[in-house]
């Protein structure tokens, strides 16, 4: 598990992939306060 802001778009993509395939599942993404100021969070 990585703890840098770059995992947010990866988690969003994984969740979208699950939905498009109709699969059941969950995607969890853990991040700290420092990740919220990055562009990845607002764009995802």
List, for residues 1-44, the tens digit of each pLDDT value.
555 657 888 888 999 999 999 999 999 887 777 666 666 666 66
Q: What pLDDT is recorded for position 44? A: 60
Rounded Cα distance between 43 and 22, Å, is 24
Rounded Cα distance between 8 and 21, Å, is 20
DSSP string, 12-34: HHHHHHHHHHT----------GG
| pTM tops 0.75, yes or no | no
Q: What pLDDT is recorded for position 26? A: 93
The angle subtended at Cα 27 by Cα 31 and Cα 34, nearest 5°, is 10
Torsion sign over Cα 17, 19, 25, 27: positive
Q: What pLDDT is recorded for position 43? A: 65
> Per the structure block, which two tokens stand in for 7?
């995992």
Q: What pLDDT is recorded for position 9? A: 84
Domain boundaries, the chain: 7-43
Q: What pLDDT is recorded for position 33? A: 72
């Amino acid at each position: 598990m990585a703890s840098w802001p770059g995992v947010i778009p990866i988690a969003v993509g994984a969740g979208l992939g699950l939905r498009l395939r109709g699969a059941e599942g969950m995607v969890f993404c853990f991040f700290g306060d420092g990740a919220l100021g990055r562009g990845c969070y607002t764009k995802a």
